[in-house]
Amino acid sequence: MVRRILPKSYVIEAVKYFTAIVDDDKKISRQQKYWEALRFRQVEIIEGTYRIDKGKRTEKQTDVNIATHIVHDCHTRDFDCVVLISNDSDFKTPLEFAKTKLNKQVRVFSPNQGRVAEDLKLYAATAHVIDVSLLIECRLPLLVRDNPKIARPPEWAIESPVSSSR
């Protein structure tokens, strides 16, 4: 999908996927297959954790990991543009740092339908909502790899709108 939303002249140096390990046995297997498919496509996976607090399951470390990687990569890697696919305004500060202190161009793409958070637009050269049809088009193919086989789970075959909290 990143290749579809960025200008063709851009060279993609790295794609990182930030998430947490699920704690449900049925979901663990599916998540591991998904991660294997992402790794096959050279996506680096950065793991957070889940914590249960007052009966509510909450993802932890993901936002901190994203912010840390933005700042760290801006300091240690040679690239011109930070691309964030999120609509979480908590990333305002690392994007501000990337743009104002390290002269990186910032592009923000929101997977949430409707709008891009105003705080993220402040430092972005471009800020766009990703169309649902593009999210559907860019899902993993039915067969990612033949040997050993990595296939898209059957429950992902439904053509329905995608939503995300990020």
CATH code given to domain 2-155: 3.40.50.1010
Quickly list H helices, 6-141. Answer: 25-40, 62-76, 92-96, 118-121, 132-137
Q: Which of the 8 DSSP states describes residue 51?
A: E
Q: Say how far apart CA 98 and CA 123 lie, in whole Å.
A: 9
Domain regions of the chain by residue span: 2-155
Residue-wise pLDDT for 76-131, tens only, equals 999 999 999 999 999 999 999 999 999 999 999 999 878 999 999 999 999 999 99
3 sits in which H/E element: helix 2-5
Q: What is the pTM of this model?
A: 0.84
pLDDT tens by residue, 31-85: 888 899 899 999 999 999 888 888 888 888 999 999 999 999 999 999 999 999 9
Cα–chain-centroid distance for residue 26? Answer: 23
List, in sequence order, every residue forming a beta bridge with 143; answer none if it has no partner. Answer: 151
Which residue reads 């700042």 in tokens? 71
